[in-house]
Amino acid sequence: MRKVLFVFLVLSIVVSLLGAQKLVINSYMSDPAPKKVFAELVEQFKAEHPEIEVTVNTFAHEDFKTLLRTWLNSSNAPDVVTWFAGERMRYFASKGLLEPIDDIFDGGFEAYFPGAFKSASAYEDHIYFVPQSWYWWGVYYRKSIFEKLGLTVPVTWYQFLNTCEKLKEAGYIPITIGTKYLWTAAGWFDYLNMRVNGLDYHLKLTNGEIEYTDEGVKKVFEYWKQLVDAGYFISNHTSYTWQDAANYLFTGDAAMYLMGQFIKDVAPESVKDDLDFFRFPVIDGNIGLYEDTPIDGFMIPAKAQNKEAAKIFLEFIASKEAQEYFASNLGRLAANKDVPAPDAHAQKGLDMILASDGVMQFYDRDTNPEMATAGMNGFVEFMVYPVRIDFILKNLEIERWRIFK
């Protein structure tokens, strides 16, 4: 005990003599569960690096998205920020707003992460992003409601429509969704487009290579319209955040929700064991099974004041130990390839992804940010006013031509 106290005293003296390095982290992990686990990771980092004084600023997720652009352009930028892999990261890297971090990986990026993650973490041969965790999307549902009504998990689109109708007849809201913040509607567009037209078509669309007035895109909305016209979605969804809409699933008023694994972060303990998921239904058996697998992680702003401390922190975040702690406490899949799936639920998600024919990030992470905003506004407008679809797609095509030409 005396030895421990002596070491701590020596470290304290050294830190006081040299002056503590500062590290400012801006985080979007505002939901209680990830916020708590991240705070615990930060405490572990501080115990290993008492010479670094860490400040974590947490912002509501949607506020963070708005503020990040301002921070990255500020002369007083934070040292580390949470963010998304893919186009959302590359956009800022292309503007010179991010710090390359190739030098933090002992043995190279692939020594830590799957090679498939590199393209989503890099821009022009440099790494700008440290993946922390990734997750699958699926149709989450209440097992008890399905059991009560004698429903089996639908595999095909026809079976899915039949399931929705039986739920509606029994007095349940078949599908809950909150579109107050637009990205939840993008999930529906992703899956319908991938199931109708395939992954290559979807990626060409998000790259600006396909017109929004193309017959393939119109076909997507024909399937989506079947759900809207039948009244299978919750009413007034534009009034709800994704968490508000999840409450309808948790209370048992709604039966299904197309959502990422993080829905379990906000689920009450009494409900978690009654939540399960299934793969988005097959529409065309000749089209492969493709999935959304967003990757979350960290970046260093180019204008950060404490880049050395920031890189030390990202080295810590990339480690097997830190990634395993985060993933195991939240039931997610760690980006570090040496970390196994933390539980049976995560293993089921991993198995679904491994059995898929290909994956992408997410509509608003894989297309230009301006196009993403226009597109998601259009998707929500369609869900409210489906008769406007031709007008909506013409407007999206005007935006595509302006942004990508």
Tokens 């349940």 correspond to 172
Q: In what order do the strands lie in the sheet with 333-334?
A: 52-58, 21-27, 80-84, 295-299, 130-134, 333-334
Give the whole-angstrom CA distance, residue 95 versus residue 351: 37
Residues 283, 302: one domain? no
Residues 334, 238: one domain? no
Chain CA centroid to CA 72, Å: 21
Residues 278, 175: one domain? yes
pLDDT of residue 310: 97
**Residue 248 is part of a domain; what is its CATH number?**
3.40.190.10
Q: Is the pTM value of this prediction over 0.95? A: no
Tokens 């971090």 correspond to 101
pLDDT of residue 114: 87
Residue 357 lies in a domain: no
Residue 387 lies in a domain: yes
The answer to whether residues 22 and 56 touch, using CB atoms and an 8 Å cutoff, is: no
Give the whole-angstrom CA distance, residue 336 versus residue 257: 28
Residues 307, 240: one domain? no
End-to-end CA distance of the chain: 68
Give the whole-angstrom CA distance, residue 279 versus residue 138: 5
Residues 141, 37: one domain? no
Closest CA to 173 of 272, 226, 252, 258: 252
Q: Which two tokens stand for residue 343?
A: 């539980």
Residue 122 lies in a domain: yes
Residue 85 lies in a domain: yes
Residue 397 lies in a domain: yes
Residues 276, 310: one domain? no
- DSSP H stretches of helix in 176-272: 183-197, 199-206, 215-229, 242-250, 263-266, 269-272
Residues 22, 154: one domain? no
pLDDT of residue 1: 46
Residues 127, 150: one domain? no
Residue 4 lies in a domain: no
Give the whole-angstrom CA distance, residue 352 versus residue 141: 16
pLDDT of residue 119: 83
Domain boundaries, position 219:
137-292+368-404
Give the whole-angstrom CA distance, residue 383 versus residue 380: 5
> What is the DSSP secondary structure assignment for residue 238, as one 8-state letter?
G
Tokens 């890099």 correspond to 122
Give the whole-angstrom CA distance, residue 226 versus residue 24: 48
Task: Identify residue 362 by its one-letter amino acid code.
Answer: F
Residues 197, 312: one domain? no
Q: Which two tokens stand for residue 66?
A: 């708005």
Classified as helix, coil or strand, 178 is coil
> What is the DSSP secondary structure assignment for residue 294, as one 8-state letter?
-
Closest CA to 260 of 243, 244, 274: 243
Residue 362 lies in a domain: no
The answer to whether residues 394 and 205 touch, using CB atoms and an 8 Å cutoff, is: no
pLDDT tens over the chain, length 405 residues: 444 445 445 545 544 445 579 999 999 999 999 999 999 999 999 999 999 999 999 999 889 999 999 999 999 999 999 999 988 899 999 999 999 999 999 899 999 998 878 888 999 989 999 999 999 999 999 999 999 999 999 999 999 999 999 999 999 999 999 999 999 999 999 999 999 999 999 999 999 999 999 999 999 999 999 999 999 999 999 999 999 999 999 999 999 999 999 999 999 999 999 999 999 999 999 999 999 999 999 999 999 999 999 999 999 999 999 999 999 999 899 999 999 999 999 999 999 998 999 888 899 988 999 999 999 999 999 999 999 999 999 999 999 999 998
Residues 221, 202: one domain? yes
Residue 11 lies in a domain: no
The answer to whether residues 375 and 186 touch, using CB atoms and an 8 Å cutoff, is: yes
Task: Identify residue 163 by its one-letter amino acid code.
Answer: T
Give the whole-angstrom CA distance, residue 199 versus residue 314: 32
Residues 147, 204: one domain? yes
Residues 113, 207: one domain? no
Q: How many domains does the chain have?
A: 2
> In Å, what is the CA distance from 61 to each residue of 26, 28, 34, 58, 65?
11, 5, 12, 9, 7
Angle, CA of 135, 372 and 95, to the nearest 5°: 95
